[in-house]
Amino acid sequence: MAREVNSVGVVGLGTMGAGIVEVFARNGIDVVAVEVSDAALDRGRATLTGSTDRAVAKGKLSQEDRDGLLNRVTFAVGLEALGDVDLVVEAVPEHLDLKQQIFADLDRICKPEAVLATNTSSLSVTEISVATHRPNRVIGMHFFNPAPIMKLVEVVRTVVTESEVVDDIEALCTRLGKVDVTINDRAGFIANALLFGYLNHAVSMYEGRYVSREDIDAAMKLGCGLPMGPLALMDLIGLDTAYEILDTMYRRGGRDRRHAPVPLLKQMVTAGLLGRKSGKGFYTYEQAGSPVVVPDEETPTTSDGDGVGQPQKVAKVGVVGSGTMAAGIVEVFARAGYEVTSVTRGAEKSSKLLDDVKTSLNKGVVRGKLSEEDRDAALTRVTWSGSLDHLADVDLVVEAVLEELSVKKALFASLDEICKPGVVFATTTSSLPVIECAMATGRPANVVGLHFFNPAPAMPLIEVVRTIRTSPEALATARAVCEKLAKTPVVCADRSGFVVNALLFPYLNDAVKMLEASYSTADDIDYAMKLGCGYPMGPFDLLDVVGLDVSLAIQRELYLEFREPGFAPAPLLEHLVTAGYLGRKVARGFRDYSRR
């Protein structure tokens, strides 16, 4: 039976430490909050008071409960005040020597039965524990920021942590209203191991001038539904903290190059550009500590190429394809007021496409997002055809056919012979080289990528892909069309995965490798990313929705293009696809949906 914790000490009252104090005090537990000086103690007290005042102002905490919470907290300078507590949670900066010294002192001061916990997010709990004479009573208790709001706690056991200590901490997490995932001691644990490889990759994209900072963040927010873009998140975390975490994970985690901090990150830290805390990081803020972004003098990294072109007028659009994506694109253009010629092979496919468009438009009417008049007007703008010859006078052709390069190249060669001069050709490919399609024509300057996301009518993002032959005028036309469609265009160069897939799928692949290594369960990994990072879906839920075969194909393309060892598809993913476990579409992937 788990032992009840009645008193807790918290060492370090920065943003995280003060938040941990609030979590315990909110749940009726007496807290001794400790800092190294009176000035630091005053800052910690002000942080706690400010947080509880905001909670009262928002109606999330009554005045009476706030007063009770604050009365449970005793503030003190020095570790000596922690002699009688049942549990100590250390929340000081991520420096191993500092933590080891604190734990050595706590071992001397605290009663023998007290549990000593570290809130480290990346350092070895085992290395911290050996600074004491009670490593069996040392554990990791990794809260997420802001601690009063975020539901996840990673409970990290070492090889010598007593099982009863793990039970006690798991029971305490439940008492605090938190969801715990219990894992072994390894670099980054679950959330940071998956999150920081992705963040580091995003910084490398920005450093390489592949895409602007604004477009990277917009792509991941709008394309994946993430609460923040990666560069804005780095600014929130603090670039110095991010650097320390990545460096520790690289050294402790097998020297995976994906965790080697991008040189730009170290340069920014050296220059004092630490993110929100310093008032400037990847973005510039109103003042130090402010979340308000202000314009800066820096010219954002762009991927538009040299020169700014004038967009040409687009009134008529051709859409080639018969699948779900093609139907969505037809609907998007028709609703935006364009005359659309939809070309499919055969009357049967054309009829199905029309039915799909009608069904989607009717749903829009039922949900109140579209009037009946607008629905009818959109349908009258669409001409249905079975011949590419009917695209002779359109201003823009959007290809949405099978994701096979030979098929796309043959189609672009045919369009080159049929369409009028000046027409812009666009491919909706999500993984194939746009330049291959462009060079199948005699006018590669007029070819761009327009990567819509599924479902096209609902998703607000389009990746606009320029090749090294795309003209400024064609690029400007594509951007103008996206804006008329009420979509956000993200401009990037022609590289496998573009922005979203290049950042998303290595993260998913890392999650599969973590499961394959038996480090954690699919459920706990999903919990960690949803509750610890605010992601709308965990990686395994998302893999099952996307399709394991689709994910494997994209990951293979990324590996072939970049030859990055960390991008090699996880063998478990390969094996599941070979066995026919493809995700929800066949009712079996990482989870069994046949009984749900």
Q: Which amino acid is at 575?
A: H
Instruction: Please list, residue by residue across 497-534, b when 16 or more beta carbons sit within 10 angstroms of its beta carbon and e when fewer do.
Output: bbbbbbbbbbbbbbbbbbbeeebbebebbbbbbbbbbb
Question: Does the structure show a pLDDT above 50 at 527?
Answer: yes
Catalytic, out of 7, 142, 303, 403: 142
Question: In what side-by-side order are the strands of the sheet with 316-320?
Answer: 382-385, 339-343, 316-320, 396-399, 424-427, 447-452, 461-466, 488-493
Encoding tokens for residue 585? Answer: 């579409």
Q: Tell me what pLDDT residue 596 has.
A: 65
User: What is the residue type of 119?
Assistant: N
The predicted-structure confidence for 10-38, as pLDDT tens digits, reads as follows 999 998 999 999 999 999 999 999 999 99
Place of tokens 């920021």: 145
Task: Give the mean model confidence (pLDDT) for residues 244-254.
Answer: 87
Residue 146: exposure state from Cβ atoms within 10 A (0-12, 13-18, ≥19): middle
DSSP H or E segment with residue 544: helix 539-546
Which is the CATH superfamily of the domain at 506-586? N-(1-d-carboxylethyl)-l-norvaline Dehydrogenase; domain 2 (1.10.1040.10)
- Please give the residue that has the higher pLDDT: either 541 or 252: 541
- Give the pLDDT confidence score for residue 582 in this predicted structure: 95
Residue tagged active-site, from 22, 35, 90, 154: 154
Q: Which helix (H) or strand (E) holds 154?
A: strand 152-157
Q: What's the Cα-to-Cα distance from 407 to each of 128, 148, 404, rounded to whole Å?
A: 58, 54, 5
Per DSSP, the three-state class of 308 is coil
Token code pair at residue 370: 């579209």
Topology, domain 7-184 = Rossmann fold (3.40.50)
Write out pLDDT tens, residues 70-103: 999 999 999 999 999 999 999 999 899 999 999 9
Nearest to 401, CA basis, from 294, 292, 324: 324
Question: Is the pLDDT assigned to residue 69 strictly greater than 80?
Answer: yes
142 catalytic per annotation: yes
490: phi then psi, degrees, rounded to nearest 5:
-115, 120
Q: Which residue blocks in 58-190 are alpha helix, DSSP H?
A: 63-71, 96-109, 125-129, 163-175
Q: Is 572 exposed, middle or buried (0-12, 13-18, 19+ CB in 10 A)?
A: middle
Return mean pLDDT, the chain.
94
Of the candidates 392, 394, 442, which has an alpha carbon nearest to the alpha carbon of residue 418? Answer: 392
Distance of CA 101 to the CA centre of its chain: 35
Q: What is the pLDDT of residue 346?
A: 81
Chain-centroid distance, C-alpha 127: 30
Query: CA 431 to CA 321: how far, in whole Å?
Result: 17
Q: What is the DSSP string of 269-282?
A: HHTT--BGGGTBSS
Calpha distance 229→46 (Å, rounded): 30
Token pair, residue 3, equals: 């032992």
Q: Please write the tens of the pLDDT for every residue from 532-580.
A: 999 999 999 999 999 999 999 999 999 999 998 889 999 999 999 999 9
Which one from 7, 192, 322, 446 is the annotated catalytic residue?
Answer: 192
Which pLDDT score is estimated for 298?
A: 53
Helix or strand run (H / E) with residue 334: helix 324-335
**Residue 121 designated active-site:** yes
Whether pLDDT at 307 is above 70: no
CATH of 191-294, one of 1.10.1780.10, 1.10.1040.10, 2.170.120.40, 1.20.59.10: 1.10.1040.10
Fold: same for 7-184 and 191-294: no
CA dist 514 and 188 (Å) reads 11
Tell me the domain boundaries of the chain. Answer: 7-184, 191-294, 316-493, 506-586
Give the homologous superfamily in CATH for domain 316-493.
NAD(P)-binding Rossmann-like Domain (3.40.50.720)
pLDDT (tens digit, 9 = 90+) per residue, 281-290?
999 999 998 8
- The string of pLDDT tens digits covering residues 114-171 is 999 999 998 999 999 999 999 999 999 999 988 999 999 999 999 999 999 999 999 9
Token pair belonging to 235 = 């600014």
Mean of the pLDDT values across residues 297-317?
Answer: 69
Take residue 134 and report the two structure tokens written for it.
Answer: 């009670």
